[in-house]
Structure 1
Amino acid sequence: MAENLIQRLEVAVSRLESFSRSSQPQAAALDAASASSEPSIVAFDDLITEYVDKVSSAAEKIGGQVNDITKVLREAFSAQKALLAKIKQTQKPDAGGMAEFLRPVNEKLTEATKMTEGRRSDFFNHLRSVAESLSALAWIAYAGKNCGMSMPIAHVEECWQSAEFYNNKVLVEFKNKDSSHVEWAKALKELYVPGLRDYVKNHYPLGPVWSTTGVTVSAPSNASKPGAPAAPNPPPASLASSASSSSSSSSRPTQGMSAVFQEISSKPVTAGLKKVTDDMKTKNRTDRAGFVSTGEKEARKSVPSAAKVGPPKFELVMGRKWVVENQIGVKDLLIDDCDPRQTVYIFACKDSVLQIKGKVNNITVDKCTKMGVDVVAAFEIVNCSGVEVQCQGAAPTISIDNTAGCTLYLSKDSIESSITTSKASEVNVMVPANDPDADLAEHAMPYQYIHTYQDGHFVTTPVAHSGG
């Protein structure tokens, strides 16, 4: 009787186990289906239909790089939709698990950022607008007050403010040239403010709600195995909390350094060192001079490294764009055959002076050092050091970005110019005085600011700088 009873119990248990295994895929499919019908997921679908489609439609009219990076934008939002559905079935991950969970969105952010690198394209501001704005999707990583990032709504707004600097440049540049670009820039802004901001406000004001009984996500297992290939870098601070990234990074090098010290201690201190003979000592070497003349020093300073400097260029490309590149120590560069439809791009020039006689559409000075430019048009200065620009005529807009040391000489015609600065220091503007015989008046543009919290928001005031 006992043996029969045991056999019957074993048969019953095996049937229950097989039934449980067969029902798990169905349960998972039901969970996925129910997650996709959640109000928050349906609302995100509406966000994509209403706003992302609008940006894509405008990008298709423009084509080229703008359309390419807009496709990356769409893929990033689609990846976030998949993550929102996955959250309903996933337990809250740790720091390493959060980086792995966010990988699909982080890959799109990395892809967009790579499109902005290299030589500056004509649509750089479009590309940078998207790359900067995609960091807003990191609101999904918010894990509480001590996670190292702002609350979801504030995070979306802050990221868009960073992207809006470049988006506004698109609006200004194409305001009277091409309505498709203006439509694209406005649609991009609406996608984040109010689009994504209002979505987060209505559905996830305190961050995502993770499952308590779902699956777990952890970092790749090969990261902890000695000798295994290194795991990919964690997402940037915008896609994971700074606290989690610091804790995960501090735990990795410990084993490596221990191995290094262990290897050092296992060998003699002088192992591998070569003996220095008398003829190798500096005081006994005959192939070295004891001094360097002033002429040699000046020659070393003035002659650039051939390995770092590309070939100089000074040419008109396709009848539309003047390219001035890698001009070193040339003081008499001149462009006198100008057309209002042309642009001028000045790149990697040093200790040179360029005079532009006539009006062009736009001038960009990029990665130049100690460069002087004489212009009669709107212009932009980026990644430069020690640049002087003299405006002979009206210049409606002047933009200075990531530049240290810039002096602007404005004429009476350009005194009403709009000057925009970002990450710029030591910017001085010289303006003509009322007395034509008087010297130019120098004004230092502020690059230090004081932020005070008043009446529920921060008030920013510049620190005054005195002119010389």
Structure 2
Amino acid sequence: MVSIAEFDNLLADHLSPFIALSNQIGDLVQQQSLLVNEAFHVQRSFIEMASKSAKPSTDGQFVAMLKPISDLITQIQDIREKNRKHEQFNHLSAVSEGIAALGWIAVSPTPAPYVKEMTDSAQFYTNKILVAFKDKPEQAHHPNWARSWITFLQSLQQYIRKNHTTGLVWASIAPAGAAPPPPPMGGFNLGPAPSTGDKAMDDARAALFASINKGTDITKGLRKVAADEMTHKNPSLRASGVVPDKEMKQLSVSGPVNKGPQAKGPVKLELDGKKWMVENFTGRHDLLIDDTQMTQSVNVYRCDDCVLIIKGKINSITVDKCKKFSIVFDSIVSVVEFINSQSIQAQAMEVVPTITVDCVDGIELYLNPKSLNAEIVSSKSSAVNISVPDAKGDYVEHPIPEQLKTTWNGKCFQTLPVPKN
């Protein structure tokens, strides 16, 4: 079958080089890649099974059919969640974000754009890898690894666009009384699949994806995640008007529904090697880091309704999954990053070369005269405002456009921001 042969070519031409580079890096990257390799070969078997079977018509059947893939996705993403302090965290995150592309088999009518979203999420981390290793030719396998992963995901999108344009191609629906479809490859038998309309299939898909974006709780069963817990691949600002199978990015199919809030881990403010870890604080307005060095970085994770002051010159700051959080810092060597957060206030007292804002709902940046040359990169974010001092020293707020307008100029498309009124 053509689609199976082309999927085999996809794995041989683009996944195999990625696996080889992962083996060269070793450690957790290699461990994660072995699961990636297994997951896509399981999906290959699934595609072959679908080409010989009718669509399942109940959510239980469809969820059970996807469980082997779902379990592998969970294992791959757990490696990232359980190793947040690992030196190759960006590698683990790039794979963890991109592996959700496996879910295209449950997306219709546009699975290829779904994979594009997952690729963009992965690329956020591969770009960090490219920057980190750009001046290290002796470690060229790291940027090569990053490019290889994105190339594979892009090739997967092209494969889907060609062979499964409007969704996974199944065999014709079996007539009433016909023999049941063969069991999915992998050894589990779901029994006969009754033949009904596509609505049941849509219901199954919606039920399957109801457990996306659970972070470290992914193995605890289905739950509806609050907006402030969603990752940058599914921020709350995109929740309105998006169908569930485009919002959801991970697969988990076991356990009862739990609608309670996700518990935080223990509070932490400590130096781990060259990283200051600030985690899980709530309602603390007196957090202070003042014993700093230029080679150190600060990672802030899941801090709500807090104020953090950082003294001295440090390398970088990352603020992830925080809410109603304020931070004041002196001088930065490389970058300050805000990810997956809400209601942030940040003030730069001295120099900061780059500020990135990714999937943040509401952020106020205050720059002083020494930081006016900062490069600010924002994506998938809303209510981004930058305040700078005027001639009198008073801060003046400048909103950043959230909308883009694209027009055809006769030769190519031209995209410009739409200013706020």
The interval holding the TM-score normalised by the smaller chain is: 0.5 to 0.7
CA shift, 1:116, in A, is 4.5
CA shift, 1:190, in A, is 0.4
1:52 corresponds in structure 2 to 15
1:130 aligns with 2:86: no
* 2-structure distance, mates of 1:362, 1:332: 15
CA separation of 1:356/1:66 partners in 2, compared to 1, >3 Å: closer, same or farther?
A: farther
More strand per residue? 2
CA shift, 1:423, in A, is 4.5
1:464 aligns with 2:392: no
> Contact 1:43 / 1:199 at 8 angstroms: preserved in 2?
yes
Aligned pairs for 1:150-189 within 5 A: 150=110, 152-176=111-135, 179-189=140-150
2:160 to 200, 223, 234: 200
> Contact 1:101 / 1:217 at 8 angstroms: preserved in 2?
no
Aligned pairs for 1:396-407 within 5 A: 396-407=353-364
* 2-structure distance, mates of 1:350, 1:158: 31
Aligned pairs for 1:288-367 within 5 A: 313-318=268-273, 320-325=274-279, 326=281, 329-331=284-286, 333-340=288-295, 342-347=296-301, 348=303, 350-364=305-319, 366-367=321-322
AA at the equivalent of 1:137: L
1:83 corresponds in structure 2 to 46
> Contact 1:98 / 1:141 at 8 angstroms: preserved in 2?
no
Q: Provide the aligned C-alpha RMSD in A.
A: 4.3
RCO higher in 1 or 2 (8 Å CA, sep ≥ 6)?
Answer: 2
1:220-272 superposed Cα distances (whole Å, 9 cap, x missing partner): 58xxxxxxxxx999421799xx799xxxxxxxxxxxxxxxxxxxxxxxxxxxx
CA separation of 1:154/1:401 partners in 2, compared to 1, >3 Å: closer, same or farther?
A: closer
* 2-structure distance, mates of 1:422, 1:430: 19
1:111-170 superposed Cα distances (whole Å, 9 cap, x missing partner): 33444546844555434432332333344446xxxxx531x4444334323433343333
AA at the equivalent of 2:298: V
Unaligned runs of 5+ in 1: 1-37, 143-147, 222-230, 245-307
1:111 to 65, 75, 80: 75
AA at the equivalent of 1:235: L
1:99 corresponds in structure 2 to 63
> Contact 1:89 / 1:215 at 8 angstroms: preserved in 2?
no
1:35 corresponds in structure 2 to none
* 2-structure distance, mates of 1:411, 1:82: 58
CA separation of 1:120/1:84 partners in 2, compared to 1, >3 Å: closer, same or farther?
A: same
Aligned pairs for 1:189-268 within 5 A: 189-193=150-154, 195-205=155-165, 207-212=167-172, 215-216=180-181, 234-236=207-209
> Contact 1:345 / 1:366 at 8 angstroms: preserved in 2?
no
Percent identical: 29
CA shift, 1:67, in A, is 2.8
CA separation of 1:409/1:93 partners in 2, compared to 1, >3 Å: closer, same or farther?
A: same
CA shift, 1:410, in A, is 2.3
> Contact 2:366 / 2:388 at 8 angstroms: preserved in 1?
yes
3-state SS, counterpart of residue 208 of structure 2: coil
* 2-structure distance, mates of 1:65, 1:220: 34
* 2-structure distance, mates of 1:50, 1:204: 19
AA at the equivalent of 1:372: I
> Contact 1:324 / 1:346 at 8 angstroms: preserved in 2?
yes
TM-score if structure 1 supplies the norm length?
0.61
1:429 aligns with 2:383: no
CA separation of 1:140/1:315 partners in 2, compared to 1, >3 Å: closer, same or farther?
A: closer
> Contact 1:452 / 1:460 at 8 angstroms: preserved in 2?
yes
* 2-structure distance, mates of 1:385, 1:49: 42
1:83-109 superposed Cα distances (whole Å, 9 cap, x missing partner): 222234323332534433333323323
* 2-structure distance, mates of 1:350, 1:463: 32
> Contact 2:359 / 2:380 at 8 angstroms: preserved in 1?
yes
1:262-295 superposed Cα distances (whole Å, 9 cap, x missing partner): xxxxxxxxxxxxxxxxxxxxxxxxxxxxxxxxxx
Unaligned runs of 5+ in 2: 184-188, 192-203, 213-242, 246-262
AA at the equivalent of 1:156: V
3-state SS, counterpart of residue 76 of structure 2: helix
> Contact 2:83 / 2:89 at 8 angstroms: preserved in 1?
no
Matched residue pairs, number? 349
2:372 to 409, 415, 421: 415
TM-score if structure 2 supplies the norm length?
0.67
* 1-structure distance, mates of 2:57, 2:293: 60
* 2-structure distance, mates of 1:39, 1:346: 49
AA at the equivalent of 1:420: V
CA separation of 1:65/1:409 partners in 2, compared to 1, >3 Å: closer, same or farther?
A: farther
More helix per residue? 1
